[in-house]
């Protein structure tokens, strides 16, 4: 498996423009997460999905942010309109619920490479 794939890797846009970040999770993973990383706030959870259904979007900072997961293999995070304070690295991650492997319950997230967003 190619892992979690995010695009674009870098995005520079002007204030007021719409930005769409994309994520392809690992096939078979039933959870998908969007995180934002900034120097000031560290890694924050924005929203997560289970089986394509949004479960908790309380971390989405404003109505300017929206996320969708139309199918099990694709998710988008959209910012409209973008502002300079949205500049950050946005990570997508996917996971399974804890699974029994032998005598162990195994659980972990796989992260994409992130999208560095710069709003000027």
Partner 1 sequence: AQTVTQSQPEMSVQEAETVTLSCTYDTSESDYYLFWYKQPPSRQMILVIRQEAYKQQNATENRFSVNFQKAAKSFSLKISDSQLGDAAMYFCAFSGNTPLVFGKGTRLSVIA
Can you give the binding site for partner 1, defined by CB under 8 A?
31, 33, 42-43, 45, 48, 56, 89, 91, 93, 98, 104-105, 107-111, 113-114, 116
By beta-carbon proximity to partner 1, the closer residue of 49 and 79 is: 49
Supply the minimum distance, in Å, between the C-beta of residue 110 and partner 1. Answer: 8
Supply the minimum distance, in Å, between the C-beta of residue 99 and partner 1. Answer: 12
Helix (H, G, I), strand (E, B) or coil at 85: helix
Residue 38, CA atoms < 13 Å, CB-side half-sphere: 13
């Amino acid at each position: 498996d190619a892992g979690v794939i995010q695009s674009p890797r870098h995005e520079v846009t002007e204030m007021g423009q719409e930005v769409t970040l994309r994520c392809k999770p690992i096939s078979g993973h039933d959870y998908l997460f969007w995180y934002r990383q900034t120097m000031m706030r560290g890694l924050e959870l924005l929203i997560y999905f289970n089986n394509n259904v949004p479960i908790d979007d309380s971390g989405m900072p404003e109505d300017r942010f929206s996320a969708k997961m139309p199918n099990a293999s694709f998710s988008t995070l959209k910012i409209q309109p973008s502002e300079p304070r949205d500049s950050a690295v946005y990570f997508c991650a996917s996971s399974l619920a804890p699974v029994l492997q032998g005598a162990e319950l195994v659980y972990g997230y796989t992260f994409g490479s992130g999208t560095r967003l710069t709003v000027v």
